[in-house]
């Protein structure tokens, strides 16, 4: 039987869209290049909105071992400043989350092609979307969802990343006292050229995830060991957290080219772009997964309501723009030397600012288009 929709990329956004469509009896083919979910560079913080969307998709994060995160700390200097988060939050490794999402897609009737990579996506003269795979297979459908995250696909190049960001993730087993101290908190750490976060995840371990601009990495000879040492020098709180910690991966996993602030302007008929293909929010907000789920939900609703892909993409852009610009503004502040100079003052007001920023950089319920509401409910 002819597929109705091809979904390229089986991460958060692609799985969410395929589950929603599969449950409605639509004929969906999801193509994911990894044979099994792998570790991804991600802080693994799940905001309140992300938790709601995951719950609606049938993903029980508590049963999967998610750790409650009621507090956030800013650790640019000693002592760190703590504030309660203004929404429920949890943390869960991407490997666990992505595994559960793919399983849910399969049980929703989605035809899942795993370990197969889409090499190109083109439109035929008959108006069909045609995906050509690395093994030469070709799949066609009248509609496609592009959900390849930050990876580009031939014909759909990535937006620019002028700051040339590099991101890393490493798991640690912390020393018992540090582990107890970190429990239930997500800690944001600042240093020149970037920022990082550490938080507990399931299995009694901690995730340290950090970003830095290429030129700062160049300053330490492009070596992550040197960078980590420099970060600990600049941020004694991190040095304290990592003292006696056991690294659990041979080396951090890394990703380059992160076009923070990108929001897709246009698309072609029949091609809905979701997740990081729709928008890439600065990582410190911990909101990328929520946006991926939100954009998937909106795209499904738009598709079911017959809203054209170009109209959907334009509306989504307008809806996400204020949140994105605010997050970028806040991220610039984190990386600004002047802001660092006034940090002692900022720290005094930080808990309040954090609460407000956290609230403002969430995807608001009103951001769903009217047509999406009608179908999504
Ligand atoms: C440093 C950093 C920290 C972050 N921390 C957080 C956080 O704490 N909380 C949070 O909410 N967000 C965070 N994010 C953002 C979050 O990780 C992303 O926004 C989210 O993963 C986007 O989901 P997605 O489905 O668009 O992409 P992904 O989850 O990356 O999925 C894309 C999928 O497409 C597949 N794929 C790619 N190309 C092809 C192809 N050609 N053919 C077939 N399959 C393909 C990939 O294998 C992948 O599985 C962070 C991001 C970074 C960089």
Question: For residue 374, is pLDDT > 70?
Answer: no
Q: Superfamily for 5-67+93-157+261-335+364-376?
A: FAD/NAD(P)-binding domain (3.50.50.60)
What per-residue confidence (pLDDT) applies to 253? 96
CA of 207 to the centre of ligand 1 (A): 16
Every domain of the chain and the residues it spans: 5-67+93-157+261-335+364-376
d(CA 234, CA 20): 45
d(CA 317, CA 308): 14
Q: Do you know the residue count of the chain?
A: 377
CA of 156 to the centre of ligand 1 (A): 16
Question: For residue 83, is pLDDT > 60?
Answer: yes
More confident residue, 81 or 251: 251
What per-residue confidence (pLDDT) applies to 272? 98
Give 246-294 pLDDT, tens digit per residue: 999 999 999 999 999 999 999 999 999 999 999 999 888 888 999 999 9
β-bridge partners, 46: 90
**Ligand 1 within 6 A of 13 CB?**
yes
Let me know: does 209 contact 298? Beta carbons within 8 Å. Answer: no
**Ligand 1 within 6 A of 293 CB?**
no
CA of 118 to the centre of ligand 1 (A): 16
What per-residue confidence (pLDDT) applies to 87? 86
> Which DSSP symbol is given to 184?
T
- Alpha helices in the chain, H assignment, sequence order: 12-23, 48-56, 94-107, 176-182, 214-219, 224-234, 236-242, 288-305, 309-335, 337-341, 343-360, 370-376
Give 98-131 pLDDT, tens digit per residue: 999 999 999 999 999 999 999 999 999 999 999 9
Both tokens of residue 110?
């989605």
Both tokens of residue 354?
């954090």
d(CA 59, CA 69): 18
CA of 349 to the centre of ligand 1 (A): 33
Q: Is 203 left (phi over 0), alpha (psi -120 to 50) or beta?
A: left
**Ligand 1 within 6 A of 252 CB?**
no
**Ligand 1 within 6 A of 6 CB?**
no
**Ligand 1 within 6 A of 196 CB?**
no
Instruction: Please name the residue whose Cα sits nearest to atom 21 of ligand 1.
Output: 289
Query: What angle separates helix 288-305 from helix 309-335, to the nearest 10 degrees?
Result: 170
d(CA 56, CA 206): 27
């Amino acid at each position: 039987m002819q597929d109705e929709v091809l979904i390229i990329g089986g991460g958060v956004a692609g799985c969410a869209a395929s589950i929603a469509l599969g449950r409605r009896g639509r004929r969906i083919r999801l193509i994911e290049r990894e044979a099994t979910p792998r570790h991804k560079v991600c802080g693994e913080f799940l905001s309140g909105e992300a938790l709601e969307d995951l719950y609606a998709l049938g993903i029980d994060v508590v049963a999967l071992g998610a750790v409650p995160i009621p507090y956030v700390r800013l650790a640019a200097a000693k002592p760190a400043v703590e504030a309660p988060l203004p929404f429920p939050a949890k943390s869960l490794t991407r490997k666990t989350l992505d595994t559960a999402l793919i399983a849910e897609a399969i049980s929703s009737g989605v035809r899942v092609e795993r370990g197969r990579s889409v090499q190109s996506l083109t439109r035929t003269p008959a108006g069909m979307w045609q995906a050509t795979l690395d093994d030469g297979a070709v799949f066609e459908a009248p509609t496609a969802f592009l959900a390849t995250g930050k990876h580009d696909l031939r014909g759909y190049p990535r937006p620019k990343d002028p700051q040339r960001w590099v991101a890393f993730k490493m798991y640690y087993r912390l020393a018992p006292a540090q582990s107890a101290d970190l429990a239930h908190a997500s800690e944001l750490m600042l240093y020149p050229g970037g920022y990082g976060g550490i938080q507990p995840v399931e299995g009694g371990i901690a995730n340290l995830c950090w970003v830095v601009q290429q030129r700062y990495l160049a300053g330490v000879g492009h070596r992550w060991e040197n960078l980590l040492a420099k970060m600990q020098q600049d941020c004694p709180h991190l040095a304290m957290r990592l003292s006696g910690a056991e690294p659990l991966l041979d080396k951090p996993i890394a990703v380059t080219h992160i076009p923070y602030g990108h929001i897709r302007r246009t698309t072609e008929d029949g091609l809905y772009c979701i997740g990081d293909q729709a928008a890439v929010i600065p990582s410190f907000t911990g909101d990328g997964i929520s946006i991926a789920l939100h954009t998937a939900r909106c795209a499904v609703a738009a598709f079911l309501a017959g809203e054209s892909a170009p109209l959907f993409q334009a509306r989504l852009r307008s809806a996400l723009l204020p949140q994105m610009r605010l997050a970028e503004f806040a991220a610039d502040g984190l990386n600004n030397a002047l802001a660092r100079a006034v940090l002692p003052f900022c720290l005094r007001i930080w808990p309040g600012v954090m609460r407000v920023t956290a609230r403002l950089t969430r995807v608001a319920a009103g951001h769903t288009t009217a047509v999406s509401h009608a179908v999504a409910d």
